[in-house]
Structure 1
C-alpha cells in the first residue's frame, strides 16, 4: 500500500482516522541508532507501526522493531507522544491518517539487521551520519529529542 505524507502542507487532505502507532528508538553500545528504509517512501525511519487491539504500546513497539528490522530489543525509557494535526498520511486505499505515535527508547538484545517486506534497508547509524540520510522531519524531531535529551516530549 502506497502512502503520501503531508507535513505542514497548506492544503492537505482531511484526516479520516487517528490510529495509535508505536515506535522504538533503539541505541546500541556504540551509541548508533537503528533505522530502517521504508519501502513505501524510501525514507529512513525508526521502526514502528500501528498498535493492535489487545496489545500494549510497549509490546507494539517491540513487535514492530523485530518485524521491520530483525532486531530484538527491550525498552529502557520513554521518548514521548508525537501527534501533530499538521502531519497527515494519505494511503492509496483511501485512509487519511493524522499522525499519532508513542515512541520508546530501547536497546538491542539480539537479532541481526534484516531487510523485509516493509524495509529495503536496515542499519545502525551514528548520530554524525544522520544528516546524510533522507529522514522525514517527524523522525528528525523524535531523534533530535533523544539526542538533545529534551524528552519526554508530550506534543
Structure 2
C-alpha cells in the first residue's frame, strides 16, 4: 500500500474512533464507561498526532471541540460562471484560490450560505439556481483533515454587486478552465473544478453525489 493510502486509512480509523468515543461520552451511563470512552478519544488524538506531526493539544482542540453525537461537517461552495469562466476568490489563509464558500452556518440553509459567502468574499449578489453536487471529502484528493466533511456545490447566477475582496480574501476573479490559478486544496481540487465546468457545457447534467 502506498504511503498516502496508508495515511488515509489511518486517518479514517482515527476519525471513526473519535466519533465512537464522542457518541459514547454523550450517552455514557456510568463513570466506568466515561473513562473508557475518554481513553478512546485520547487514542484517536495520538493517531492523528502521529500522522500530522502537529501539537497534540492543537489536535485535541480540533478533534474534540464538539459535544453530542458526532456528524459530518458541511462545506458549502457557490459555483458562478461568467463568459465561460468560473468565479474564484484568493484566500488570505493559504494564499491560494477557491470557490466562494465555507462551513455551513447554523440558522442558514445551504442556498443561503452560498449567497452570503459569495457576497462577503467576492462582492457579488447572487441567486441560487440548482444543486450541482454533494461530495464526501474522503473520496477526493484533499489534504488530511480531522473532520469528516460533506461538500455541497450550488450553481448561482449574478444579480448585482461588483467584484471586490472581502475580509478573508485578497483577490477575486473569473478564470478559464485551462488557466486556473493555484487552488486551495483544502477547499477544492482541480478535478472538482473541472467537473463543475461540465455543468457549464451541459446545463441538463444531473446532480452528482458520491
| 2:179 aligned partner | 129
How far 1:128 moved relative to its partner? 2.9
Runs of 4+ in 1 over 6 A off after TM superposition: none
How far 1:152 moved relative to its partner? 1.5
How far 1:102 moved relative to its partner? 0.7
Distance 2:93 2:5 in 1: 20
The yes-or-no answer on 1:154 pairing with 2:204 is: no
| 2:23 aligned partner | none
The answer for unaligned runs of 5 or more in structure 2 is 16-62, 64-69, 200-204
How far 1:9 moved relative to its partner? 6.4
The yes-or-no answer on 1:65 pairing with 2:118 is: yes
How far 1:139 moved relative to its partner? 3.2
Task: Tell me if the contact between 2:115 and 2:127 (Cα under 8 Å) persists in the aligned partners.
Answer: yes
Deviations 1:57-116 (A, max 9, x none): 1111111111111111111222101112264565xxxxx323321111112111111112
The yes-or-no answer on 1:110 pairing with 2:110 is: no
| 2:7 aligned partner | 11
Change (3 A) 1:127 1:53: same
The SS at the match of 1:128 is: coil
The yes-or-no answer on 1:42 pairing with 2:95 is: yes
RMSD: 2.3
Task: Tell me if the contact between 2:177 and 2:194 (Cα under 8 Å) persists in the aligned partners.
Answer: no
Given the two structures, how large is their TM-score scaled by the length of structure 2?
A: 0.59
The SS at the match of 1:117 is: coil
Higher relative contact order (CA 8 A, sep 6+): 1
Change (3 A) 1:62 1:45: same
Which protein has the bigger strand share?
1
Q: How many residues align?
A: 140
Given the two structures, how large is their TM-score scaled by the length of structure 1?
A: 0.77
| 1:25 aligned partner | 79
| 1:5 aligned partner | none
Change (3 A) 1:19 1:38: same
Which protein has the bigger helix share?
2
Change (3 A) 1:51 1:143: same
